[in-house]
């Protein structure tokens, strides 16, 4: 970025260090797509000029992030799934307020964050694009901006991510991992199968399949909480898996938020409109549907919530606070030019 570039130009020793650590990539070679062709991915990263730091679990992800910060890179990229991305950026935001240019490479299974930032660019093409972006002067790099969701109220807070879900969303995640994933299906299509299966089951059962869920939330500025919710989702991304955009708020605010109250009216018939963010006249608050763009909210989940695929347990009636950070710059990796 321009400020750090000017500072480095005043000191030749700093320039030498910067040249050595221009690009650092934290890579999870155990993540979905990386695992299928690790040597190819390693070769592409080396060709892009990357210092590669390997990490595969939370402890090693945190250690690699601290190592990356110590190297003071001009660009820090994460190559892995949404869980790896969440771990790196949470540790990064805790460690420093001086962020380098950031990038996300879709090396995981579903890669919802990477696909939003990079317009669904494939893994190998994303790495090649990262190499081209790295060779450019900072002012000429292509960027996209997204805020983090900053989540507090859990034991090890704050946590930073892009997608939060509670209620039956956790059931869908379990279905994906135990049923769809066990069949060898991967990627956004597999996750989409679990999502659609969950909505169909919820509609057919008349809400009985969600009897174990009772989530509440209160949006900042609202006078009263919304209780008896069976699904709550919030994101700062502009697309979800399969390009879905299940929100239709008109407010100018950084967090897209959607919720379903118990037994929403005609859910199966309204599901296509819900998933595309095109509300039907029968998708009103009174019908059990809610969607607004918000700056923050307090969530009272029913024992757990998910942030970028990672599940966090909370105590009964324990409030969780969610706000948007300032917009953060990410390099776009969807073109080679």
Kindly tell me if the per-residue pLDDT of 186 is higher than 60. Answer: no
- Examine residue 84 and state whether it is found in any structural domain, yes or no: yes
Give the Cα separation of 233 and 281 in Å (integer). 21
Looking at every residue in the chain, the average pLDDT score rounds to 86
Task: Give the whole-number percent of the chain exceeding pLDDT 70.
Answer: 81
- Examine residue 158 and state whether it is found in any structural domain, yes or no: no
Per the structure, the count of domains in the chain is 2
Whether residues 127 and 206 fall in one domain: no
Whether residues 6 and 142 fall in one domain: yes
Q: Which stretch of 206-210, 283-287, 305-309 has the lowest confidence by average pLDDT? A: 206-210
Q: Which stretch of 47-56, 253-262, 280-289 has the lowest confidence by average pLDDT? A: 280-289
**Interior angle at CA 247, CA 241 and CA 251, nearest 5:** 135
Whether residues 19 and 133 fall in one domain: yes
Whether residues 6 and 38 fall in one domain: yes
Could you tell me the residue range of the domain that residue 232 belongs to? Answer: 163-307
Whether residues 299 and 167 fall in one domain: yes
Helix H or strand E encompassing 144: strand 143-146
Confidence of residue 44 (pLDDT cuts 50, 70, 90): very high
Q: For 260, list phi and psi in degrees, rounded to 5.
A: -120, 130
Q: Where are the alpha helices (DSSP H) in 21-102?
A: 32-36, 38-47, 58-71, 82-95
Stated pTM of the model: 0.87
Kindly tell me if the per-residue pLDDT of 16 is higher than 60. Answer: no
Confidence of residue 93 (pLDDT cuts 50, 70, 90): very high
Kindly tell me if the per-residue pLDDT of 264 is higher than 70. Answer: yes
Q: What digits encode the pLDDT tens for the residues 150-164?
A: 999 987 789 999 999
What's the Cα-to-Cα distance from 196 to each of 120, 127, 259, rounded to whole Å? 21, 32, 16
Assigned token pair, 137: 């002067």
Whether residues 10 and 47 fall in one domain: yes
pLDDT at 217: 96
Whether residues 133 and 180 fall in one domain: no
pLDDT at 322: 98
83-88: average pLDDT: 96
Whether residues 109 and 196 fall in one domain: no
- Examine residue 293 and state whether it is found in any structural domain, yes or no: yes
Distance of CA 99 to the CA centre of its chain: 18
- Examine residue 321 and state whether it is found in any structural domain, yes or no: no
- CATH for 170: 2.60.200.40
Omega before residue 158 within 30° of 0, cis: yes
Beta bridge partners of 298: 218, 321
- Examine residue 331 and state whether it is found in any structural domain, yes or no: no
């Amino acid at each position: 970025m321009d400020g750090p570039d000017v500072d480095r130009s005043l000191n030749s020793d700093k320039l030498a260090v910067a040249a050595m650590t221009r690009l650092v990539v934290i890579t999870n070679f155990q993540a979905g797509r990386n695992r299928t062709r690790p040597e190819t991915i390693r070769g592409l990263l080396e060709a892009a000029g990357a210092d590669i730091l390997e990490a595969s679990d939370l402890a090693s992800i945190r250690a690699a992030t601290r190592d990356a910060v110590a190297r003071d890179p001009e660009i820090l990229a994460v190559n892995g799934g949404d869980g790896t991305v969440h771990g790196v950026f949470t540790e990064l935001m805790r460690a420093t307020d001086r962020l380098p240019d950031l990038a996300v490479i879709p090396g995981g299974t579903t890669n919802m964050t990477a696909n939003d930032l990079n317009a669904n660019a494939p893994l190998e093409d994303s790495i090649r694009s990262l190499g081209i972006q790295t060779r450019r002067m900072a002012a000429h790099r292509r960027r996209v901006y997204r805020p983090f969701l900053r989540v507090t109220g859990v034991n090890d807070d704050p946590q930073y991510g892009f997608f939060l879900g509670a209620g039956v969303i956790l059931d869908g995640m379990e279905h994906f991992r135990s049923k769809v994933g066990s069949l060898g299906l991967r990627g956004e299509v597999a996750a989409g199968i679990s999502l659609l299966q969950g909505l169909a089951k919820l509609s057919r059962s008349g809400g009985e399949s969600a009897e174990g869920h009772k989530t509440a939330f209160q949006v900042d500025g609202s006078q009263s909480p919304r209780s008896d919710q069976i699904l709550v989702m919030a994101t700062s991304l502009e697309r979800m898996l399969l390009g879905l955009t299940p929100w239709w708020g008109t407010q100018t605010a950084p967090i897209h938020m959607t919720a379903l109250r118990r037994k929403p009216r005609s859910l199966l018939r309204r599901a296509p409109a819900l998933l595309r963010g095109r509300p039907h006249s029968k998708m009103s608050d009174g019908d059990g549907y809610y969607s607004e763009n918000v700056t923050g909210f307090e969530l009272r989940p029913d024992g757990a919530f998910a942030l970028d695929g990672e599940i966090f347990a909370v105590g009964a009636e324990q409030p969780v606070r969610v706000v948007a950070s300032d917009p953060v710059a990410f390099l776009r990796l969807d073109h080679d030019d």
